[in-house]
Structure 1
Amino acid sequence: MNSSFQETPEWSDILSGRDWSSTPLGPPEKWPEDLRKTVVLILESIQGRIEERATELAAANASLVQEAAERLRIESRLQHFVEGVVDYALFMLDPNGIVTNWNTGAQRIKGYAASEIIGRHFERFYTPEDRAAGVPARALQTAIREGKFEAEGLRVRKDGTTFWANVVINPIRDDKGELLGFAKITRDVTERHRAQEALQRTQEQLAQAQKMEGIGQLTGGVAHDFNNLLTVIIGNLESIRRTLGTTPLDHERLGRSIDHAMRGAERAASLTQRLLAFSRRQPLDPKPVNVGRLVAGMSELLRRTLGEQVAIETVLAGGLWPVLVDPNQLEVSILNLAVNARDAMPGGGKLTIETANAHLDEAYARAQTEVVPGQYVVLAISDTGVGMSREVQARAFEPFYTTKDIGQGTGLGLSQVYGFVKQSGGHVKLYSEEGYGTTVKLYLPRLMAEQDVLVEPEQVHHTPRSRNGETILVVEDDEDVRAHSTGILRELGYDVLEAATAAAGLQLLHGHPEIRLMFTDVGLPGGMNGRQLADHARSIRPDLKVLFTTGYARNAIVHEGRLDPGVSLLTKPFTFSDLARKLGDMLDEASAPPRVLLVEDDAMRQMAVAEQVKELGYRVEVAGSAAEAISKVRLMADDIALAIIDISPPGRGGDALLSELRALNAHLPVVFTSPDSGSLPRRFAADPFVVLVRKPYTGKDLKSAIDRLRMA
């Protein structure tokens, strides 16, 4: 640093350029040497700092210039890239959906030049229907909420034509998370969509062709079998007619012709039932069944059917869960499988029937068709016969497919088994190896009830007749069927009224209070079917018994393959003894005392209350838990006249139980029992069909509560 003021002209210039006259120091030339040196030092320090800062600013400015240049270069490349994309419409929207930029692909796909669309709302790309429904706004809201919106749909070009578009919208935010706008990508996928539609049409046409081929095979098989059966029936009826014209009457020939005609008719009825079973349209009447006991009860029947050449072995597991199936149809299925096994062992062999509890997990269920994971009872029927090839196994459950000789089988046995099990919610699995035999496993869903009940098919060896000449109303539109039905009823000793339509049947009900039972077809003309007729009839006569008949399981009384609760059905064709037994059962039941369901878990209390109810003239059904009560109401439905329920049954609250019971029986009267007089669930407090009895109570208290309900 220069120590002399005179030797630093730049500072001299600076100092001398200022007017110092007003300062106490005076002009610089008059300052003391030390002061001048100090001022110079300060000024030089300031100058050095200024020069350093200037250098820093220059370097920083150069860096900024370089970054700006690089950013411009990148933006230029990105702009060229965006402009070069012609297969995608790439553009930006502001937060309100206004288009802010536009690429070449957008112009090619949508038809707008940038000058025509920038500053306009993007909703113009949507159809009028989508705009009216608020689709564009919802798309932006979804993108904001979920971080992305993606969809396919029709979009509109500038010229008004539409195309199928794949659209993706992403929100753009700054470093603080504030929404800046949206990036939108649109792709024209019209050709792909057309290709998919064409493929779908082709698949549908193929499926329709396969369906028609299947229907053709089914129709041909039905026609073949029914023509054979009709030949037997018609031929023997003609023989009967010729025999009746001869003198003297050949009773032996007449009886033989009648027997042959009846066998043909029975085979035709069996064929029809098998067809219904395969199509899952037969009306099942499921009941709680112990499969082990049912199999044990069939042992004698199986031995007589299969003959001495087939050894039968049963391996029945203990502690078998109950299942809810139609016991008659299960017996038919077992018999079908056993007969198939016998035919596969022409030289004799061994038939093994096994039962066990099983669990089908989710992994197994996913690999099968129409299988729900859960607990099942498995019934396995195995033979030591010739087995099946892979080709035969693949078609084994098809209707009318058989490897037997002509006249040796209809090909409906396995298809009937398959249809019945599937209709019951179960699963069928076939295992076979040529030369080593076959195993068919039936998986039947476990009945989740606490009581193991076996309901065996009733064995009736007599034909019950009318005891008191009860009056029965027959409603049937087919004149021949009506004549057949009324003829049987009169022969059984019943008084009969008949009607061809539901309206005529209702008129007879109004005018004849002595009618005890109505026997009606489900399908009736005139706008009112049999179920609707029954509902009207019971609104007039709540105590009226109704027996339905039909040749086909219709939705009026069958839902999900099962008879509605409380429905009694006699399927066509029916015999003299079939109708007689059904009527006898229903009318005997009608004369029995009303049935009361008692829900009580305490054993001692259960016994005491059951005796009180019996003394009041009722039959008693006991349930120790909510689950058991639900199961009994599901099975007995309208047969239960009243329920007595502990306010807190095991398994769930009394109000929850009542809600489930009411779903099965909408007007079920209920007596709640509780030690607390104020414990009646609030939601049922105003229900006229619910009464609370406080514990402990007497038979008189119970009678009073029941009388109140019966008067409600």
Structure 2
Amino acid sequence: MFKSSRTSSGEVGASPALSPKQATGGYLIPALVFAALTTVFIGLWSWDRRSEREALHARAEHVAEQAAMTLETCIDARLSVVELMSGLWSAGRLNTPEEFTGFALALQRSFDGLLAINWIDVEGVIRWVVPAEPNQAAVGRSVYSNPEAGAILRRALQTGGLRLTPPIELFQGGRGVAAYLPLTRHGAPDGFLNLVFRAESMIASCLNRGSADNFSYAVHDDGELLFADEDLAGRPVAAGVPFRDIDVAQRRWRLTLFPRPAAMGWFSAHVPEIVLAISVLVALGVAGLVRRALSSRAMLEARTSELQAIYQAYPDLQFRVGLDGTILGCQVDTASNLYLPPEQFLGRRMQDVLPGEIGERFEEAFRAVRERGGCISLEYSLELAAGSREFEARILPLKADELIVIARDITDRKHVEARLESNRFAIEHGSERIYWVKENGRISYANQAACRSLGYSAAELEGLRVSDIDPDFPADGWPSHWAEMKRRGSMTFKAHHRTRDGRVFPVEVTTNHVEYKGEQYIWAYTRDLTESQRAEEDRRQLETQLRQSQKLEAVGQLAGGVAHEFNNLLTVILGCGEIALRDLDGAPDGAPDGARTAAMRLNLEQIASAGKRGAALTQQLLAFSRKEVDAPAVIAPARLITETQRMLRHLVREDVSIEVTQEPELGRIRAGSGHLEQIIINLVLNARDAMPEGGCVQIDCANVVLDDDHARLHSGARAGRHVKIAVRDNGEGMNPETLGRIFEPFYTTKPVGEGTGLGLATVYGYVTSAGGHLTVESEPGEGSTFTVYYPVVEGESDATDDPSPLPPAGHGEVILVCEDDATVRRLTRDALQAAGYHVLEAEDGARALELAASHGGGIDLLVTDVVMPGMNGPALAEAMLADRHSLRVLFVSGYPEDLVDMKVARTRGH
């Protein structure tokens, strides 16, 4: 470390003392005394004059440095307005005359000497001026019409930076200086910002702040006078006068100080009177001069000490260096901030001490200061004992042969700036939609995610009210809403937002009340609930479909059981009726009781007819319960649909038309041909009944590929290739309640006696039993569309009808019949006996085994029910095949799914 002080010294001349002997003589002695005293006075006066000039020069140097810094700071503050407005312009905040005028007018009123703030278009024409009235003469004028201003404008456009003109003639009248900064928006040139100053008033305003009264100031731009105090009018700049150069927007201004007479002191200003008074007041004059000299020296030393104390109080690192960079001294608050200990760098060149590129940058900076003067700033990083630190250095002239380097540790500031920048980037580019809302309900900030969600740009969105983007929020309700959010601090609620194109979507809003720079805001972020609500709706829809499917399955199980029992009854009805009719057909015509016989025939025919109708109902019940006897096969639906189309013409009224469209190459599907035919008939009849006033039924058949979304939204659906059969009508349509129940068995909207309610339930059973699914779309008054989807079967050929001939009548072969229902067992026995077979009958499995064991001969066929009390049909077959390997087995049941365990017969080869 070092401590420096500036000292001034002066040489004092002295005359030899006179001996008493020399003081003799008439006029000689007074003359010699007068001469001696005059010489002493002149010597003392010269010494005092020189001391005062040195003190005045030191004070002038200090005042010049302060005044230069004050003027530079003041002008930088005014020019920083341009940078601020440039950033706001690029962000889209000042692009209208109203926004520009309001902002510029507030700034113009804040700075003395700022004549106008203008916007110039890309052609160089002044378009907007603020304030308007005193600057109206500049509107519409081209900057390029002034050669000096036009040259500076072109240079600003080329460099992209701020440029300042020399003193020029202004369009408003008079002389002044102008600053130009190119503007860009969305990466393209967008004109210029233009500040116009009255140099005299601006500099006077700046220098009056903290300037002393003992000095006059003059400011020149490249030799041309910008400003001068009134007492300097016409006064040339003398050599040795203190001055400082100031860099102003790439131009160099020179500030020059001139001591005023008041700064020279009373003594210097009244030399003639002092000289006249010396002859009378020699002793007093000498004493006064000595006292004044001592006082001036004490004052100089006090001033020097004061400056040294201020110098040492700075927390920055300070280095005095020679013009070549040699370190002459340093001032630091702690040695830990030094790259090397002082003893290792004092007397060496700073660019040689600092590492690599940093030293080269200092070398260039020293050269620039030597050549151009002024102040050079640079930033660099050093690895110190305490870790890596960031510094900002300012290099400026100190004396004619010395420079000063002031280095400031900016590590903490850099860290704060980096954190602020990372936070700003995270907020601006994050996925959360963030808003800042002012107390008046207007949006002051919205990040990119918020802008994208609403379809606005940031400039468009900022300034809108909350009620502009929330259609449910009343504008007059904001004060109470603000008060509630402020009271609670943080709250979350659901709302709706409206995009620029009018689309409304649900959101969840979380708000936080904050205070920032003396203003209150609501900081809010929103979450789009569209997908979550859609998922919730899908879940509810699937739950509804699941409940419906479970209900249909339960009803289907009931229908299957009813059909099972009903089949047994039908077997008896049909069998007895056919046998009785056959017996009657074999009776002679002349048999007695002919009338009675005729009545019996009529009753039996009615029994048979009722049984056939019951069989048809059973077939529909079995189809609905997915237990239809007819097994599905691979079929080509195109041919079947074409054949069914002819029959459909006879099923509808004349006022109902049928239009069929189908692709020429429909895929093959697995389904019963009778089922598919019945599906189309039932759907067409349903469409016909929905159009009591007539209409059109459209049948559309096509190959389609279903995706995962379709499969997820429809119960029983699978993704992949399907054949689609859609039946569409333009009838009355259905309300949601009817739509939710159409596939329930026995549910009908027709009057009593006109419908069974099994038509659509049968369609549902046929389709789902074949692995397909169906959808329904309907609105009241808009008609209905039933769409059936069958999966396409790959690589299998079509099934063909190959009916086997009826077997011939028997010739006494032995058949063992095992059936727990006595009526069915007796009917089976009579039918087999009538066909020429010998029948053994048993009511259960145990009795059947007893008959087989006691029967002396062979048994050719076992006919057994599948489900029986005790031993069931498959178990009976397995027990009998253990002793009779050649036995054939026939399983019978009125419930086709009972025929599932044929393992024994297949294993034995039967």
Q: TM-score range by the shorter chain?
A: 0.3 to 0.5
TM-score of the two chains, using structure 2 as the length reference: 0.32
TM-score of the superposed pair, with normalisation by structure 1: 0.41
Larger gyration radius, structure 1 or structure 2? 2
